[in-house]
Chain A
Amino acid sequence: MNEEPVRIGVFICHCGTNIGGFVDVPAVVEYAKTLPGVVFATNNLYTCAEDGLASIRDAIKEHRLNRVVVASCTPRTHAPLFQGVCEEAGLNKYLFTFVNLREHCSWVHMKEKEKATQKAKDLVRAGVARVRLLQPQEEARIDVEPKALVIGGGISGMVAALSIAQQGFPVYLVEKESEFGGFVRNLNNLYLGGKDAMETIKPLIDKVMANANIIKCLNSRLVSVEGFIGNYNIVIDANGKEIKDKVGVIVVATGAIEYIPEGLYGYDLYENVVTLTEFEILCKKKALPKINSIAFIQCVGSRGQDKSYCSRICCNVAIKNALNVVENYQDMLGLGTGEIVEKVPVEMKAPEEILERRRRRRGRRERGEEEEEAPSPTTGKIEVTIFNRDIMAYGVEHELNYNRSREKHVRYVRYTPENRPKVYKEGDKLVIDYWHDTLKMQRKMTVDMIVLSTPLVNNPDAKELSKMLKVPLGQDGFFLEAHVKLRPVDFATDGIFVCGTAKGPADITECVFQAQAAASRATIPLARGFVQTEALTARVNPTLCTGCGTCIEVCPYKAIQKNKDGVAEVIVAACKGCGCCGATCPEGAIDLSHYTDMQLIAEAKAALQEVIE
C-alpha cells in the first residue's frame, strides 16, 4: 500500500480561451494551492500540448508528486493522454484524476464568470478529495487461446472467417442452414446487369470451402458459451455432432431477416402484393406474373410506421429492381398482352399555379431559352412507379442508377406519413389511392403488382444469442456496438465483435467492410497471445461475504462465482467494473476498485462543501 504522504499536483488548463475566457483560472490555481495535500498547482495554456505535458512530467519529478489532478476538458477523450504522461514519469496511471472544467463548466456557464469560477473551484476541490484516496492499480495479464468462432455463414460471416483464417488462426464458422450464403441466397442479383447473386458470391464460398483453417459447421448451432476474452468455452451442435472447444474471440455475424408487413397495404389480403425480397425470389425463379404496371411502395413498416429506423438499403434495391423490370424482364412480363394502364391527364386537373408554370416553361422553350422537351414516356413499356417519402440513393453507384431510372421513365411519387397511399381491389385490379403532394389532389392508379419495401429486422435468434453471449441489443432489436462512432464493430464485452446486418441494415459492400474490420479487430488479441485486463474490477472482502449469491444473480457478465469456501470470487478477466454487485451486496462485502464507496462519497461531499476528511 502507498503509505507515503500524499503530494498532489494540480494542473489547470486555460484551453486557450475555452476555459480561460469564462473562468478565472489564476484564481482557481491559487485556490487549489490551499487544498490539503496539494504541493504544486499551476496553469497551462493548453495542458494537452507538448509543453503542457512536459510541465506535468517535470513537476512529478521536481515536486515528487504522487497524485496528479488535471482540470481541463473531458476524461472521455483526454484521460488516456494524461495517464500516459503520468506513467512516463513513473507514476501509476490510476493515481490520476480528471476534473472537467470545459464541457461541464466554462462552456455551459458562459455568461456568469463569477459563478462558473466558484463551480470550477468546487470541482477542483472534489477532484483533489478523490485523488487523495486513490490507490495504484495493476492490470493483470491473461493468455489468449489462438482460435476464433464466427457465428453466421452469410457474406459477413464468411468474409470475417476467411480473413481470420488467412492470418493463420483456426476459425469455427457456424451456419444454421445447409449451405453458406445467408440472406444473399434469396436475391436475384447483387447489382444491375449482374449475374445471379449466388454465382456472384461463389468465389467467396469456394475460398471458404478450400481454406483448411476454417472449420465449417453447416446445419449447426451454438449451444453454449462460457468464459471471457481469450478463454471462451464453446459447445457447437454441428449437424447432430457435439463439438467442444476453447476459442479466444467470437465474431457475431448472424445477419438480419426481412420485416413481414402484416396488415399493411393489403399484403395479407391480395395476391400480387409482395415484399421486396419475395419479388427478388420471383425474379430469380423467373416466375413473375404477367404484368403491365408495377408500383413499389417505400418505407413500409419503417421510419415510424412500425420500426423507427430507416433501413437504408431499400431505396437502392427498389431502384435496382425497377430498372431490372424496365430493362431486362420485358419479354417475360407478357408485354403487349396486358391491359393498358389508366392515365390521368394532368392538364385537366392540375391547379392553376402548376398550369401557369408549365405554360411559362413552354414559352421559354419556344423562344429557344430551354433545351428540347424531355422525351415523353415510351408507350408499350412497363409502367414502373416508386411511391416514396424521399429517395436516399447515396453514393456514386446508386445515384447513377437513380438517374438512369429517371431516364427510363420510372415514376417517382412522393407521399407523406400523414397521407400514406391506400391499396385496395377494384374488380380484379389492384388500385393505389394516393394523395399527390405536388398536385395537391387525391388520385388513383391501377397496377398489376405492388412491391412493398420493408426494412431489415434482426434475426429472431439474436435475442437468445444476446443472452448467451451477454452482449446487448439496441432499442431497434439489432446488436449494439460499444461506441456508435469510434468502436463500430466491437461489443462492450472484450473479445466479442459484431459485423454485417446483425448490427443494422447494410448493403453487401458495407457488410464486407464491417466483416474485415471485425476480423482485424478480433485478431489483435489472437496475434498478441495475451490481453491486459481491466483494473477497475469488483473486489470481494471474503471475511464479510456470507455466500448469499445475490451478486452472482445481478452480474451482467457472469464475472462472479462461488469458490470452494462458498465465498464470492471475482473473475478479474470477465469483470467490466460496472459496480452493480457492489451496490447490491447485502453484506457490503464488495467494493469497486478505483470507484470505492469511500472515494465516491469523499468526492461528492467535497463538491458540496469545504470539508476534507
Chain B
Amino acid sequence: MSDFEPKILGFLCNWCSYAGADLAGVSRYQYPPNIRIVRVMCSTRVSPHIILEVFKAGADGVMVGGCHIGDCHYITGNYYTERRVKLTKELLALAGIEPDRLRLEWVSASEGEKFANVVADFVKQIKEIGPSPIKNNQEMMTRLSAAIQAAKIFRVKLVSGKELKLTTEGNVYGEKIDQERMDAILKSVAQAEFKRSLILELTKQKALSVKELADAIGETPDTILDHIVVLRSKNLIALSGIEGSSPKYKAILVGGV
C-alpha cells in the first residue's frame, strides 16, 4: 500500500480556512499534494449530499474547513457545519464507508502552519485507512447512492436543521432537548431513511421480495416490511408481482429515471 496516493477533496470557507491555506502558501509550508481545494463562501454551504457525491466520485477523503467556533464570518454558519458533518458521518457509516474519511477542521486565516499540518496528518491518516472501498464495488456504490438519497430527505434535513435550535434555545414552549437525546433521534431518523432509500435503490433494477431485501440489507423481514408500508403510502414503491408465495416489490421511477 506504500504507493497509494489518496485523492482528497477540501471544501474550505473563503474567510478562514481558504485564507489559512493561502497563508500556508505565502509562508511556504510544504504539505503533500494530495488535496484539491474547492472554495465555498461558508462551510455551512456544504450539504451532506454534496460531500457524499464527492465520495461517490472516488474521493478517498474529504475535508471540510471552517472558521473557529465564534469566529464565523456569517456569525453562526459553522455551528450548522458541525452538525451537518456529524450527520454526514452517520450516513457514511451506514453506507459502510469509514466515517474518519471525512474530517472537519477549524483553521483561521492566521493558521497557515496548522493548515499544512492538518493536511499532512489527514493524508497520513487516509493512507493508513487505505483506498476508498467503493472503487469497483457495485454493492458499496448502491449503498452510497442510498445514503445520498437519504441526505436529501425532508425528515432527515428537518431534524438536522432544527437540531441547534432545539438543543440550545428549545422549541416554541421553551423546552430544550438534551444533546444525547437529539443525537439518538437524528441517528434513528437517518437509519430509517437510509434503509428506505436502500430498498428503493435495490428495487430500481429488479423486483425483490421482503426476504431478499432483508438478506441484502441485513435487517429482519418485519422491519423491512414496515419500511415498505411507509414507502407504499408515499407512492414510492409498488407491488410488481407474486413469485410463489412471496410478493415482489419494485421502486416507482419518477420522471423516467
A interface with B by C-beta (< 8 Å): 74-76, 100, 102-105, 107-112, 115-116, 118-119, 122-123, 126, 470-475, 480, 482, 492, 536, 548, 550, 553-554, 556-557, 576-580, 582-588, 592, 595, 597, 600-601, 603-605, 607-609, 611
Say whether A576 contacts B80, CB under 8 Å: no
The answer to whether B80 touches A103 (Cβ under 8 A) is: no
Residues in A with CB closer than 8 Å to B19 are: 76
Q: How far is the CB of A277 from chain B (nearest CB, A)?
A: 28
Q: Are A107 and B26 in contact (CB under 8 A)?
A: yes
Residue pair B80, A110 in contact (C-beta under 8 Å)? no
Enumerate chain A residues within 8 angstroms of B152, measured Cβ to Cβ. 588
Instruction: Contacts A108-B24, A470-B75 given; indicate if A604 touches B50 (C-beta within 8 A).
Output: yes
Given contacts A475-B70, A580-B76, list 4 more A-B pairs with CB under 8 A: A108-B24, A554-B164, A584-B160, A604-B50
Cβ-closest chain B residue relative to A102: B25
- Indicate if the CB atoms of B158 and A550 lie closer than 8 Å: yes
* Residue on A nearest B30 in the bound complex, by CB: A108
A115 and B22 CA atoms in complex are apart in Å by 19
Sample (10) of A-B pairs whose CB atoms are under 8 Å apart: A107-B25, A108-B25, A123-B36, A475-B68, A554-B164, A579-B40, A601-B50, A607-B9, A607-B36, A611-B57
A310 and B53 CA atoms in complex are apart in Å by 46
Smallest CB–CB gap between B254 and chain A, Å? 14
Residues of A within 8 A of B70 (CB): 472-475
Cβ of A110 and Cβ of B30 under 8 Å apart?
Answer: yes
Contact A584 B161 (CB under 8 A): yes
Closest to A105 in B: B33
Query: For the complex, what is the distance from the CA of A109 to the CA of B123, rounded to whole Å?
Result: 14
Residue pair B45, A103 in contact (C-beta under 8 Å): no
Given A553-B165, A583-B47, A583-B84, A492:B74 Cβ within 8 A: yes
Q: Is there contact, CB below 8 Å, between B26 and A604?
A: no
**Residues on the B chain within 8 Å of A482, using CB:** 73
Give CA–CA (A556, B84) in the complex, Å.
Answer: 17
Chain B residues near A609: list those with CB within 8 A.
57-58
Contact A554 to B24, CB < 8 A, known contacts A104-B37, A474-B71, A607-B36 = no
Distance in angstroms between the alpha carbons of A585 and B73 in the assembled complex = 21
Partner of B57 from the list A103, A475, A580, A604 (CB cut-off 8 Å) is: A604
Chain B interface residues (CB < 8 Å from chain A): 7, 9, 11, 14, 18-19, 21-26, 28-31, 33, 36-42, 44-47, 49-50, 53-54, 57-59, 68, 70-77, 80, 84, 116, 152, 154-155, 157-158, 160-162, 164-165
**Could you tell me if A472 and B47 are in contact, using CB atoms closer than 8 angstroms?**
no
Contacts of A607 in B (CB 8 A): 9, 36, 38
**A554/B53 contact (C-beta < 8 A), A112-B33, A578-B74, A588-B152 known:** no
Question: B71, B161, B162: which contacts A480 (Cβ < 8 A)?
Answer: B71
User: Do residues B161 and A119 form an inter-chain contact, with CB atoms below 8 A?
Assistant: no
Which residues of the other chain, B, contact A601 by a CB distance below 8 angstroms? Answer: 50, 53-54
Cα separation A74 to B37 with both chains bound (whole Å): 12
Tell me whether A580 and B26 are in contact in the complex, defined as CB-CB below 8 angstroms, given that A123-B36, A587-B154, A604-B9 are known contacts. Answer: no
Contact B30 A580 (CB under 8 A): no
Closest to B152 in A: A588
CB distance from A578 to the nearest CB of B (A): 4
Max chain B C-beta neighbours (<10 A), residue from A107, A112, A122, A586: A586
A contact residues around B25 at 8 Å (CB): 74, 102-104, 107-108
- Shortest A77–chain B CB gap in Å is 8
With both chains docked as a complex, state the minimum distance between the C-beta of B75 and any C-beta of chain A, in angstroms: 4
Measured between beta carbons, the chain A residues less than 8 angstroms from B54 are 601, 604-605, 608
> In the complex the two chains form, what is the Cα distance from A118 to B25 in whole Å?
18
Chain A residues positioned under 8 Å from B157 (CB to CB)? 550, 584-586, 588
Q: What residues on A are CB-neighbors of B57 within 8 Å? A: 604-605, 608-609, 611
CB pair B47 A550 closer than 8 Å: no
Q: Are B154 and A586 in contact (CB under 8 A)?
A: yes
Please report the C-alpha to C-alpha distance between residue A583 and residue B37 in the assembled complex, in whole angstroms.
Answer: 19
CA of A611 to CA of B14, assembled, Å: 26
